[in-house]
Structure 1
């Protein structure tokens, strides 16, 4: 399958505007500037992009797509060790950044100042669909970050499936303030807008007041956020009510706590759409714009996606809505493997070709999926029971004093593991919280230990880093 160089970006759309912070470009001018980048980097093995929330990042990434050169988004807040690993592992021999925005270090790739390049230039007319468009690095919670090879056709398939599921059209105005180095903010939030043809308003940072302003001043109709964003929107009722005129609120990158779902629905009049994805899979499950939206669930498979659940021994798990198992996927938006890691790539797939997500889920008879958590941190085996951390977290979050909660399994001499909670709360004590959960869930699911903490460790996407709990 061969795709023209610009195919990932969709067909030309008159009047489409891309804005990041205070700066905006019409689509035609953005593509002209990106063509100048493409001419500069043509023939490179890979290029890194200092992925700040800026138009320069958008221009640089689009330039890589036009040139058919794999793009490696580099988190702007990455430490020197992480940065050196990504640059060295990816083989990026150029680094695209705005002049003065990136501090070079010894041995770094040459810097190409995106904001000083002239527009125009010849771009590659045809690029194979299976060619790598992006090399996205995992968070590295289980070792050094791995480079995930995402093809052009995977991006196109994933975005088209979402456009159908969310009834996303050029008439929408997409609003978000998410980082531009992950699937959510970059692939969905920038390339999605370009492919569909909808204007984009990136707020710089995902602040409740900025979302409210975009709704009122820019006609924002489609809003993306992670649970932390939506929690902060709910904490600002006036900002939340400003979103009542929107068409769709979408939450992802981490489970949306049920109390936040319900509060958001109450304030905005919108039951948010939840969806599920990974760097390796893009988005594969979602509620639909015109369908049901259930708190605690991530919906149904997107077109072309197949799912199944497997027990630890590989045997099938019934779709009864209760029995958890590891979620396996087959889909056209799957990644092409881990860069230079054939063994890790092979281990990520079952012998019959299904991708092992490492996430524990339950699937109902009607096909609705509920993510329990990561197999490595969120499936707690206590006294012969299998307990999903997410269910206990939602029970804790229902307590009026609890603002944040994270649950893990910790060693126990009799039970094997015990349910241990880390909670950010105002005026609640340990025993009261244990009793609160015991009143709502089975007795074996109650936390045996509750640690009251000032904050939970989170990464750039707002996900709690459970490996840092108790450290």
Structure 2
């Protein structure tokens, strides 16, 4: 049984999805996904975990396709709408997708692959018309979805989650963040990523709530929806909050007051997928009256740690483990960090939320788990004051210089408080003498920033071994589609 789909019967007449200005009920979603499932089955009893890829914009069609694939017994493989043709080819071929369903606006991206006949391609708008016919019973331990990692340390890997995994991820968040059928969330996040699929879309639909999509991203359009009074939950990545703040600051005072009044009525606002600068958190709190709820997760496990819905949210901290999720910190030597220690260690996670495997990569899967079954996240954290604080990713955010382990995120937070620096990125650069030295990319006017004065300013705030040795100026930092800074690409910029 696919519980997410089964629960929709309880909310049949409620609005499930709003897209392109149209409201769609849970009953419409159930009917459309059943037709798609029968179309995919084409007389077969069960897809038996055949991979079905789809490239469609966020909205009702996306959800109907996702549910239809699941109801037919297939594995859903959502493709990134912003990926170029070679990246799409990689995922389609890596999963050996039986079908690729798409809408017309993506025909140009897919045209070379259609010509090469690497899979069976079909237009999603007209797919599936059968209204009668049995659908298979789907056990909850079946594989349900494959999402691809960002590939920052090699080729992207397909993360396989089961229906049980997805259920565990949803239930933990619905309970922790107190979702209800009265919630209405605006979803502006990509739907090839766990943040948009699980945290927003699936939690809303599990709860009988409504999920609304905008035709395209735009700060003005987002604030317009906020001003309607119809939205009460919002989740985004730090770069989106940064852009919203910039737009807000450009508005006249009377418009700012209207927006702030509307935001104060929201139930919940969440930030994730990248580290939230404290400066952004504080400015958004001034604007909205809300302290953004930070949480921590990965494609491989959904969310694992969260600040509380009720209670203190500490800036720069990600909170405590969600119900059903077990977390420990482990040192490089392989010893567990004691509960009362402020020593740093790698976050390791165990629970039903953790993925089954990397698609077709048993060796890579084995490497990511300890012998006793804990998933190695590669993220380094400390537990202090009752909450976890991320120091960075072991491979890119922990700089090893002269025997010290230095958090790039800590240095970035200090640099962002400088009045002339709009944004920054800090990386470790290879050095024969020190192992690594600290490099900082500054998004600032190079004519206005005196590096000697900046170094003196930093010495008042950081110990000497944490000071950058090299600087570059850029117009913007390299980012992936989720707004996360790609540190490997940033390192190449220093070369």
1:335 matched residue in structure 2? 355
Partner Cα distance (1:392, 1:8) in 2: 47
Q: Which region of structure 1 is more displaced relative to structure 2, 10-19 or 49-58?
A: 10-19
* Whole-Å separation in 2 of the counterparts to 1:203 and 1:259: 28
Identify which range, 136-145 or 336-345, moves more after superposition.
136-145
1:448 aligned partner: 469
Deviations 1:274-315 (A, max 9, x none): 111100010111112112111111111000111111111212
How far 1:245 sits from its partner (Å)?
1.8
Q: Which residue of 222, 233, 239 maps to 1:211?
A: 222
* 1:243-279 Cα deviation digits (max 9, x unpaired): 2221111000001100000000111000010111100
Equivalents in 2 of 1:236, 1:55: separation in Å? 29
1:299 pairs with one of 313, 319, 326: 319
2:288 equivalent to 1:268 = yes
Q: Which position in structure 1 is the counterpart of 2:61?
A: 56
Instruction: Determine which of 231, 242, 246 is the counterpart of 1:220.
Output: 231
> 432-441 or 451-460: which moved more?
432-441
Residue in structure 1 matched with residue 459 of structure 2 by the alignment: 438
8 A contact 2:16–2:205 mirrored in 1: no
Matched, 1:200 2:220: no
Q: Which residue of 2 aligns with 1:30?
A: 29
SS at match of 1:128: coil
Counterpart residue number, 1:80:
85
Deviations 1:117-141 (A, max 9, x none): 3374446352111111110011111
Give yes or no for contact 1:8–1:152 (8 Å, CA) kept in 2.
no
Aligned position for 1:14: 13
TM-score by length of structure 2 reads 0.90
Q: Which residue of 2 aligns with 1:245?
A: 265
Looking at secondary structure, tell me which structure has more helix per residue.
2
Secondary structure in 1 matching 2:313: coil
Partner Cα separation in structure 1 for residue 399 and residue 9 of structure 2: 44
SS of residue in 2 equivalent to 1:407 = strand
User: Structure 2 residue aligned with 1:98, among 78, 84, 103?
Assistant: 103
The aligned counterpart of 1:176 is: 187
CA contact (8 A) 2:238 2:272 kept: yes
CA contact (8 A) 1:319 1:365 kept: no
Aligned mates of 1:377, 1:180 — CA distance in 2: 26
Instruction: Write the distance in 1 (CA, Å) between the matches of 2:283 and 2:321.
Output: 26
- The corresponding residue for 2:389 is 370
Within-5 A mapping of 1:91-170? 91-99=96-104, 101-102=106-107, 103-104=110-111, 105=113, 106-117=116-127, 118=129, 120-122=131-133, 124-170=135-181
Which blocks of at least 5 consecutive residues in structure 1 are unaligned?
Answer: none
Matches within 5 A, 1:380-419: 380-419=399-438
- Partner of 2:171, secondary structure, is helix
- Over 3 Å counting, the alpha-carbon distance change for 1:6 and 1:14 in structure 2 is same
Give the distance between the partners of 1:51 and 1:301, measured in 2 at CA: 34
CA drift of 1:465 comes to 0.5
| Equivalent pair of 2:186/2:213 in contact (CA under 8 Å) | yes
Q: Give the whole-Å Cα distance in 2 for the aligned partners of 1:154 and 1:198.
A: 21
Structure 1 distance, partners of 2:378, 2:174, is: 27
TM-score by length of 1: 0.94
Quick one: structure 1 residues 119 and 169, their matched pair in 2 at CA, closer, same or farther if it must change by over 3 Å?
farther
Deviations 1:7-44 (A, max 9, x none): 47684353223123434322211221111111111244
Q: Among residues 370, 376, 389, which one is paired with 1:356 in the alignment?
A: 376
- Pairwise mapping of residues 228-243 of structure 1 onto structure 2 (< 5 A)? 228-237=239-248, 238=256, 241=260, 242-243=262-263
- 2:471 corresponds to 1:461: no
CA contact (8 A) 2:399 2:405 kept: yes
Q: Distance in 2 between matches of 1:196 and 1:179?
A: 21
Say whether the 8 Å CA contact 2:3–2:167 is kept in structure 1: no
For structure 2, list consecutive stretches of 5 or more residues without a partner in the other structure: 249-255
CA offset digits 1:396-434 (Å, max 9, x no partner): 111122221111111223221111111112432333333
CA deviation digits over 1:345-385, x for unaligned, max 9?
A: 1000011110000111111252x111111111001111111
1:127 partner SS: coil
